[in-house]
Amino acid sequence: MPVISSRKPYRIGRSRTGLGLFATKPIKKGTKIIRYSGPMLDCRKKKDDAVENKYLFQINGRWTIDGSVRKNIARYINHACKPNAESDVNTRKRTVHIRAIKDIQPGEEINYDYGTEYFKEYLKPIGCKCDACEKKREKLRAEARAAKSGAAKKSAAARKSGAAKSGATKSGATRRAKAVTAARARGTKAAPATRGTKAVTGTAKGRAKTRAAGNGTRAAANPRKAGKTAKRGRNGL
């Protein structure tokens, strides 16, 4: 790892994606933090055009900086979709400086946007790991967990409601079955009781008639009593 002067406002440190460049002192907005350096490649030359690595910084259609060399400390600066710095390209001088676009506090990682082409070729296939993208993914995961939890709660509530309805239906059916059974039982008992009552009533009437007939028979069979009755009647006249 290259040695960095203590006068510089940055250091190399461990980041989410490996190594990164971190501020050691407050860096004000607009400050040129570091120069992106390395051999200049002429794309018109076949040999230079054949160079391939992740640290190539194209200045224009002809010139490109090969930043893979060890002395280029700026190569440790990572990409961010919402960066705190940007690349300041001077095509005439063929130089590139990394400049702060907001105040950077000590301990913050310095980052800039690598550009659309680099993002599509190197970052998109593996997923960008900058803070903004990580927060977005965490938000999506939280929403997915909330949706899954909500769906599970709704499913549980639906099952509980279905079980309650099933229990209520079963209970209602049971009550109706018991009521029908009880009604049938009462009907079965009532019918003989009614018939028995009628039979008893008929017997009572029969007994009454029998008594009346018996009384008449006894009255007819006792002429003296009948005569006395008749005699009392005549005396009364």
Helices (H), the chain: 46-49, 116-118, 131-221, 223-236
Amino acid at 139: K
- Residue 57 corresponds to which tokens in the numbers above? 């910084």
Spatial separation of the C-alpha atoms in residues 136 and 117, rounded to whole Å: 22
How many residues belong to the chain?
237
Question: Residue ranges of the domains in the chain?
Answer: 10-128, 136-218
CATH number of 10-128: 2.170.270.10
- Residue 150 corresponds to which tokens in the numbers above? 């909500």
Amino acid at 91: T
User: pLDDT, tens digit, for every residue of 41-66?
Assistant: 999 999 999 999 999 999 999 999 99
Candidates 46, 64, 44; CA nearest to 54 is 64
Higher pLDDT, 215 or 118: 118
**pTM for the full model?**
0.62
pLDDT band of 87, cuts 50, 70, 90: very high
Residue 43 contacts residue 66 (beta carbons within 8 Å): no
Place of tokens 């990580």: 134
**What does pLDDT average to over the chain?**
81
What distances in angstroms separate CA 154 from CA 84, 103, 150, 167, 177, one per listed residue? Answer: 44, 48, 6, 19, 33
204: pLDDT strictly greater than 60: no
Please report, rounded to a whole number, the percentage of residues in the chain having pLDDT higher than 90: 51
Spatial separation of the C-alpha atoms in residues 139 and 174, rounded to whole Å: 51
Query: Within 10 Å of residue 43's Cβ, how many Cβ atoms?
Result: 14
